[in-house]
């Protein structure tokens, strides 16, 4: 960010009564003390046309920090230009999700970079372009029942919570699942009511979430060499799954659409949402490689 832009954003923050931006590392912690003046609502129409209008609106209505907001807006423009987000709901979801809250403090300076970042436990938060395109591909509408396999930092499900009111997420690493649950609960306590839409649990997501199924949409954020049959079974007919499929370190991100033929047989149509580009993912743990039934 240019110094001129930084000062401009700092001015907006000061003028609207937000916490003064100080050292970068203080900002998210400082905003933690402030309740949200305007709770999330499905009818919220946030300004998107200019960075200044967006930042001013968010500072006033959400008490977030202008420096993070400026970076979030710049990344949003890049996502739109790259066709990683392509609809109004997706724009709002990205712009409303405080990615900094799901990144390690040590990475706050990079949380809106186009990069995956370490979140501890040997795993990462995926980069914003990847999260944007995978989420947009799900074509979510409010009321959709969605499952995420691989909660990690919680950012992906936080983003989903602005698109539908039924989000289920599973994380296999117990202390990480607990830490992320605590992050959601702390944000809910600060007024982020939308995160009440997220149900989370510590389990092996290969087997899905039987009691919460069937799902309209499923997003898998760890890589595997086949589509887990339990996930395909728990996906509704007509449903969409987005999943990184391929050998370790070399996945293709597939959009999988489940349909039923006239004879009732299940059909699975697959397409590569990055046009053939190889995208390495954190592996799906639990020892399920080679467990596929040979279909994928
Ligand atoms: C690339 S990270 C996902 C990032 C995450 N979606 C976010 O927003 O931060 C992949 C996550 O999948 C988790 N994972 C791996 N295998 C899993 C499994 N079998 N079931 C559930 N989670 C799993 C990892 O522990 C890791 O947290």
| Structural domain boundaries in the chain | 119-296
Query: Could you read off the pLDDT of 156-186 as tens digits, one per residue?
Result: 999 999 999 999 999 999 999 999 999 999 9
pTM: 0.89
CA distance 168 to 147: 5
**Does the pLDDT at position 60 exceed 90?**
yes
pLDDT at residue number 12 = 29
Non-local (6+) Cβ contacts of 218 within 8 A are 146, 147, 148, 149, 208, 231, 234, 235, 239, 240, 241, 242, 243
Q: In percent, how much of the chain has pLDDT > 90? A: 82
> pLDDT tier at 32 (50, 70, 90 boundaries)?
low
DSSP code, position 264: S
CATH number for region 119-296: 3.40.50.150
Residues with CB under 6 A from ligand 1: 123-126, 149-150, 152-153, 155-156, 170-173, 176, 204-206, 221-222, 281-282, 284-286
Top-confidence residue, 202 or 23: 202
Burial profile 145-177: b = 16 or more Cβ within 10 angstroms, e = fewer: bbbbbbbbbbbbbbbbbbbbbbbbbbbbbeebb
**Does the pLDDT at position 1 exceed 60?**
no
Catalytic (active-site) positions: 126
Burial profile 223-250: b = 16 or more Cβ within 10 angstroms, e = fewer: bbbbbbbebbebbeeebbbbbbbbeeee
Select from 158, 222, 227, 281 the residue to mutate for testing ligand 1; criterion: most ligand atoms less than 8 Å from CB: 222
pLDDT at residue number 293 = 57
User: How much distance in Å is there from the Cα of 149 to the middle of ligand 1?
Assistant: 6
Tell me what the pLDDT averaged over the chain comes to: 89
pLDDT at residue number 134 = 98
Top-confidence residue, 3 or 149: 149
CA distance 269 to 296: 11
**Does the pLDDT at position 5 exceed 80?**
no
């Amino acid at each position: 960010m240019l110094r001129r832009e930084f000062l401009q954003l700092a001015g907006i923050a000061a003028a609207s009564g937000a916490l003064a931006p100080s050292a970068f590392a203080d900002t998210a912690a400082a905003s933690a003390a402030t309740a949200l003046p305007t709770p999330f609502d499905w009818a919220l129409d946030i300004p998107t046309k200019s960075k200044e209008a967006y930042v001013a609106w968010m500072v006033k209505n959400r008490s977030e920090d202008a420096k993070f907001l400026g970076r979030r807006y710049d990344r949003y423009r890049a996502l739109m230009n790259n066709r990683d987000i392509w609809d109004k709901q997706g724009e709002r979801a990205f712009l409303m999700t405080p990615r900094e809250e799901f990144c390690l403090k040590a990475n706050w300076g990079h949380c809106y970079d186009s990069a995956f970042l370490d979140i501890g436990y040997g795993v990462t938060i995926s980069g914003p372009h990847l999260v944007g395109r995978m989420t947009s591909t799900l074509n979510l509408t409010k009321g959709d029942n969605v499952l995420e396999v691989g909660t990690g930092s919680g950012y992906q499900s936080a983003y989903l919570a602005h698109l539908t009111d039924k989000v289920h997420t599973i994380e296999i690493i117990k202390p990480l699942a607990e830490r992320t649950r605590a992050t959601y609960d702390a944000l809910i306590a600060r007024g982020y009511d939308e995160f009440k839409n997220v149900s989370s649990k510590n389990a092996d997501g290969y087997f899905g979430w039987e009691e919460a199924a069937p799902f309209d949409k499923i997003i898998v954020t760890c890589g595997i060499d086949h589509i887990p049959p339990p996930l395909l079974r728990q996906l509704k007919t007509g449903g969409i799954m987005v999943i990184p499929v391929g050998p370790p370190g070399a996945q293709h991100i597939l959009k999988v659409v489940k349909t039923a033929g006239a004879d009732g047989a299940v059909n699975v149509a697959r397409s590569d949402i990055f046009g053939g580009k190889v995208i390495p993912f954190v592996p799906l743990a639990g020892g399920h490689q080679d467990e596929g039934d040979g279909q994928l």
